[in-house]
Amino acid sequence: MKNVLSKITDIVSDPYAFVGSVRERTGKKVIGCFPMHVPEELVHAAGMLPVVIWRSNEAVTWGHAHVPPYDCGITRSFVDDAVRGKLPFMDGMVFHVRQCLQAGEFPYIMEKNVKPAYQKNLYLPALYPGAATKDFTITELEVFKTSLEEFSGNKITDEKLKKSIEIYNLNRSLLERVYEIRREKPEILKAKEVMQIVWSSMLMPKEDHSKILTELISAMEAKEVIPDKTRIRVIPVGGLCQTIQTDILDLIEDLGMIIPDDDLYMGSRYFANKVSLDGDPVDALAKRYLTKSPLCPTKGVWDIHWGDEAIKRLKDNNAKGIISVVIKYCPPHACYYPDFKSKMDKEGINEIMIQVEHEIISLESVKTRLQTFVEIMGGV
Amino acid sequence: MDIKYKVNRLETTNEIRPLVDKHWEELRTAKERGEKVAWASGPTFIFAYAMGMKCHFMAGYSAYCGGIGAGEEVLKVAEMTGDLPETCSYHRLHMGMAEAVARDIPINPQAILPMPDLMVAGRLCPEMSHYAEGLSRRFGIRVLPVDLPSVYNIEDAPRIREFVYRQFKEVVIPTVEDVCGKPFDYDRMSEILSVLKKVATLRNQCWEFFKEKPSRWTLWDYGVSIAPVFYMMGNPAGITYYEKLLKELQERKKNNIPAIAPEGEKYRLYWDGWLPWAFLGKFMRKFTPHGAVCICGRYPWEFFPNPELIDPENPVESWADLYYGKGQLIHHFSPRGTVDLIGELIEDYSIDGLLMFSSKTCRIMNLSQPDIIDTLDKKYGVPGVIVEGDMIDPAMISDSQIETRLEALYEMIDSRRK
């Protein structure tokens, strides 16, 4: 278990070097997929390596000549990485430009300053009523598929795509299993280790990642832990698109809380919902995108409530509180948050919000908020 | 000796306030008359108008709030009831107003609207969906959503046009029929488009006076005259207004009266992004002493610069085509489209400098502005600066930042003239 976790830590500590080395080793083209909704399976089926674009841990410098400081962390950080030439291994980039307005920053900046060999904009629709929504989603995925075929020179047959879907579904199942064990034995992994496990899935070839997950799961199943019943169970919710600072996760645990489950993008949201292997595989990918739960505020859904999902998760895990992790300058989450908060208040659920920025935030203020939260919940 | 510049105000623009006041008054009192009310974002209100509903328009309401000085107090209510200050100020305005009504918090009565029977949420930008979703969650208001994607690459437009047209036909029209309990009134939609075509044609004739040196009017004059080509669409009063405006501009030309006295502008500026509705006077007071004037922008070009493409005989198809067909209005929201548009405007309107307004809470027109400036500077030799602010929220406005950037722009223009 220690070896696997150590390997994962190495990968996420320097994703640039890691992804570059995979490209060199496999000879595969690397396609950066902006989180959260690009269907990686299509890239995989074209014989290329999809990686989910990440937020660096460096201060934004040149990037601020291209995007304002009031764009979110991953937008500024990714632009910064790109214009500083830190992404030479990224042969292509895919942006779902309808996810939020800031995703619309990338196409022009990249084509003007970075000129990746392949660049694609997806216009996946909001999940609105009507057959046009489903049909347009399928059209978009078909257009994406064709462009990947042209760039890679590889035809994406239904057979190949189904094989890729199988590989991705297996990885989802294994990540689910990691989470199941964590729910049973929350002390088994630190929260930051769990986040790194998911993050490494976004960076590694899925086949390789599934192998190390299999090893990890065996070790986790075998390991006995002594439950610490003094710790207060909490569920972090949000953190859309990007990694949150691991210091914050450590802080939550240092203050006597424990995280048995999460509703983070760099967490359970990433591997939620498998793709059906029945019927047309592009239709199946569309169906997964069109699934409303887990609710994503970027998708235009209002007939189910994110708060209800979070409360169910809280109750399923016998947790006492919810920590909303709102990325600073994330409009979809910011617009939703007041209603989420109201729902928590109405249902009598302990909830606190922490806002996370790309730059080093004041951990002291976060600590004070979290300490107060623990005290309210009856902890030390 | 320094020239003392001042604005020559147009008389016709004084007539717009009573027109827009009347529009919002009729909306405020619609329910008293038993009329159905819709709220709309994006270019979707035309479907409500065609059915005889009284309809609000998201950006128009926000501009109106800014214009009547109600923005700050309504934004405070939004913050007090949970909205984060970084959220789109148009979003916060609507949430604040609805919460003020629901909680009986006193605000300017002119800013209060009746809760709608239907929200027609045109999702030009995701925030236009978020506010409708929020109001639905909080107040149970029925939402009719329409996805209206911006087009980043022009070759993507045909399939997006088809998607949008299908939503109009398959979702929008059946829903407004259901809400109103009667068949969709295609004839009324045609009439609305006929009036719009006339208004936009007249408005384009007025635009010609921006090309003159000195300019006969300012973008701010146009900004306050925007309602007849948008949320007052279909109202014949718009034709009368623009006929009068055109006549006044013709008189100005005849008598050689410039927009900026005594002898015209020193700097002819392009303004990018939203107009700063609550701060039009503030900005004007910063431009005028320097002899600077904004004479064209991207936002106005959103409103039907090619009226010849409006086809009242095929109203629904025409509406889709204006945005995604030949009209390509939606392309102006993408950086590529912006570069093309501004390039044309620089040449047609003899622009000296670019003033790119970057809203801190609405990014739809902020996208890639620094790179757009760089591209245009290299191609046309026209410098540009970014001014940060907001359309409504005074907390996002910094006088010194604006002044510093403007001074930099004037200096760059001067240095290139030498």
| Mean pLDDT computed over B132-150 | 95
CB-CB neighbors (< 8 A) of B91 in chain A: 335
With contact defined as beta carbons under 8 Å apart, do B271 and B296 qualify? yes
Chain A's closest residue to B170, CA to CA, is: A130
**Same domain for B275 and B227:** yes
Residue B6 within a domain: no
| Mean pLDDT computed over A181-203 | 97
Three-state SS sequence of A228-245:
CCCCEEEEEEECCCCCCC
**Same domain for B103 and B34:** yes
- Give the residue from B136, B163, B181 where a domain finishes: B181
User: Among B88, B146, B153, whose Cβ lies nearest the Cβ of A331?
Assistant: B88
With contact defined as beta carbons under 8 Å apart, do A283 and A215 qualify? no
pLDDT above 80 (res B384): yes
User: Among B95, B123, B126, whose Cβ lies nearest the Cβ of A331?
Assistant: B126
> What is residue B332's predicted lDDT score, i.e. its pLDDT?
85
Residue B393 within a domain: yes
**Same domain for B231 and B157:** no
Domain with B150 in it: what CATH number?
Answer: 3.40.50.11890
Interchain proximity B95–A338, CB inside 8 Å: yes
pLDDT digits (tens, 9 = 90+) for A310-343: 999 999 999 999 999 999 999 999 999 999 999 9
With contact defined as beta carbons under 8 Å apart, do A67 and A109 qualify? yes
The pLDDT mean for chain B works out to: 94
Residue B219 within a domain: yes
| Mean pLDDT computed over B65-75 | 93
Total number of domains in chain B: 2
With contact defined as beta carbons under 8 Å apart, do B205 and B246 qualify? yes
- Give the residue from B133, B152, B181 where a domain finishes: B181
Residue B105 within a domain: yes
Residue B321 within a domain: yes
Interchain proximity B126–A98, CB inside 8 Å: yes
Total residue count of chain B as it appears in this document: 418
pLDDT digits (tens, 9 = 90+) for B307-355: 999 999 999 999 999 999 887 888 888 999 999 999 999 999 999 999 9
pLDDT tier for residue B252 given thresholds of 50, 70 and 90: very high
| Mean pLDDT computed over B230-259 | 96
| Mean pLDDT computed over A213-236 | 95
Residue B399 within a domain: yes
Residue B10 within a domain: no
Q: Select from B75, B139, B147 the residue whose CB has the most chain A CBs within 10 Å, as the one to mutate to test that interface.
A: B147
> What is residue A361's predicted lDDT score, i.e. its pLDDT?
67
Share of chain B above pLDDT 70, in %: 100
Give Cβ neighbours of residue A229 (< 8 Å, ≥ 6 apart).
none
**Same domain for B252 and B395:** yes
- Contact with chain A for residue B158, Cβ under 8 A: no
pLDDT tier for residue A379 given thresholds of 50, 70 and 90: low
DSSP one-letter code for A267: I
Helix or strand run (H / E) with residue A94: strand A90-96
Interchain proximity B367–A108, CB inside 8 Å: yes
Helix or strand run (H / E) with residue A150: helix A131-152
Distance CA A141, CA A132 (A): 14
Distance CA A22, CA A148 (A): 20
**Same domain for B203 and B162:** no
Domains for chain A: give ranges and CATH numbers: 2-160 (3.40.50.11890)
pLDDT digits (tens, 9 = 90+) for A113-163: 999 999 999 999 999 999 999 999 999 999 999 999 999 999 999 999 999
pLDDT above 80 (res A251): yes
Domain with B384 in it: what CATH number?
Answer: 3.40.50.11900
- Contact with chain B for residue A93, Cβ under 8 A: no
**Same domain for B107 and B54:** yes
**Same domain for B285 and B235:** yes
A17-24 own/partner pairs: CB under 8 Å, 24+ apart: A18/A203, A18/A204, A19/A49, A19/A51, A19/A89, A19/A90, A19/A203, A20/A88, A20/A89, A22/A49, A22/A204, A22/A205, A23/A49, A23/A89, A23/A91
Q: How many Cβ atoms sit within 10 Å of the Cβ of residue A308?
A: 13
Paired tokens of A313: 């998760």
- Give the residue from B152, B181, B210 where a domain finishes: B181
**Using CB atoms and an 8 Å cut-off, which of residues 288-317 of chain A contact chain B?**
297-298, 300-302, 305
CB-CB neighbors (< 8 A) of B376 in chain A: none
pLDDT digits (tens, 9 = 90+) for A12-60: 999 999 999 999 999 999 999 999 999 999 999 999 999 999 999 899 9
Distance CA B280, CA B232 (A): 21
With contact defined as beta carbons under 8 Å apart, do A361 and A57 qualify? no
pLDDT above 90 (res B303): no
pLDDT above 70 (res A353): yes
**Same domain for B352 and B216:** yes
| Mean pLDDT computed over B393-407 | 95
Distance CA B91, CA B95 (A): 6
Interchain proximity A108–B372, CB inside 8 Å: yes
Distance CA B307, CA B292 (A): 30
Interchain proximity B130–A129, CB inside 8 Å: no
**Same domain for B219 and B95:** no
| Mean pLDDT computed over A287-308 | 96
- Best CA proximity match to B269, nearest among B407, B410, B415: B410
Paired tokens of A80: 């910064």
pLDDT tier for residue B67 given thresholds of 50, 70 and 90: confident
Q: Which of A262-276, B18-32, B292-306 has the lowest mean pLDDT?
A: B292-306
ipTM of the prediction greater than 0.90, yes or no: yes
Instruction: Decide: helix, strand or coil at residue B262.
Output: coil
- Best CA proximity match to A45, nearest among A175, A145, A172: A145
**Using CB atoms and an 8 Å cut-off, which of residues 122-141 of chain A contact chain B?**
123, 125-126, 128-133, 135-136, 139
Paired tokens of A318: 């016998």
**Same domain for B275 and B146:** no
**Same domain for B349 and B301:** yes
Distance CA A288, CA A310 (A): 20
Helix or strand run (H / E) with residue A314: helix A306-316
Total residue count of chain A as it appears in this document: 380
> What is residue B329's predicted lDDT score, i.e. its pLDDT?
86
CB-CB neighbors (< 8 A) of A76 in chain B: none
Residue B228 within a domain: yes
**Same domain for B358 and B211:** yes
| Mean pLDDT computed over B373-378 | 98
With contact defined as beta carbons under 8 Å apart, do B336 and A119 qualify? no
Domain around B394: 189-417
| Mean pLDDT computed over B83-90 | 94
Interchain proximity A126–B129, CB inside 8 Å: yes
**Using CB atoms and an 8 Å cut-off, which of residues 197-216 of chain A contact chain B?**
none
pLDDT above 70 (res B1): no
